[in-house]
Amino acid sequence: MSRSLKKKSFVAIIMGSKSDWKILKQTAIILKKLNIPFFTQIVSAHRTPFRMIEFAKKAKSKNISVIIAGAGGSAHLPGMTAAITDLPVIGVPIETKSLKGLDSLLSIVQMPYGIPVGTVAIGETGAKNAALYAASIMSLKDKDIAKRLSLWRSKQTQSVKLKPKN
């Protein structure tokens, strides 16, 4: 297929609740910086289970390459989504009031054998790394994204000073 006829691939950022957006907007900021197309959607595994099934079933046909799923508490959205689609799913554990997100982390990371979810750190750090991880996956097929990611990383390296003062 020629370059111009290639269909644009997307990252889908899904979240269990509107309240997760304050963390997942960090994912969106990094994806924007890397010029990677994405869209966002609230998809709750327990409040809107049929929306989740519909989303996951259609994800491939909508040209989604990577799904970033943020959820807190008994955070089954990433695992349930990964159970329906074989697209890569990155789970972002959202910090919770009662258990500081340890509940979310363990729910997401402890997937039984057979259905993997790539799990990142709790909260904003994880949300940002999820975007970089998605960029790495997309870089395998998209040289332009690979170049932008490589540039982003070399800028990060250059920004690290040798000495703690001045």
Binding to ligand RP5, residues 25-84 (CB under 6 A): 44, 71-73
Q: At what angle do helices 21-33 and 124-139 cross, to 10 degrees?
A: 40
The answer to whether residue 94 forms part of the interface with ligand RP5 (CB under 6 A) is yes
Beta-carbon count within 10 A of 145 CB:
21
Q: At what angle do helices 77-84 and 49-58 cross, to 10 degrees?
A: 40
CB of 154 to ligand RP5, least distance (A): 35
The answer to whether residue 103 forms part of the interface with ligand RP5 (CB under 6 A) is no
Beta bridge partners of 42: 15
CB of 95 to ligand RP5, least distance (A): 9
Residues 6 or more apart whose CB falls under 8 angstroms from that of 101 comprise 72, 93, 94, 95, 122, 123
Residue in 16, 78, 79, 91 binding ligand RP5, rule: CB under 6 A:
16
The answer to whether residue 123 forms part of the interface with ligand RP5 (CB under 6 A) is no
**Which positions lie near ligand RP5, rule CB under 6 A?**
15-17, 19-20, 44, 71-73, 94
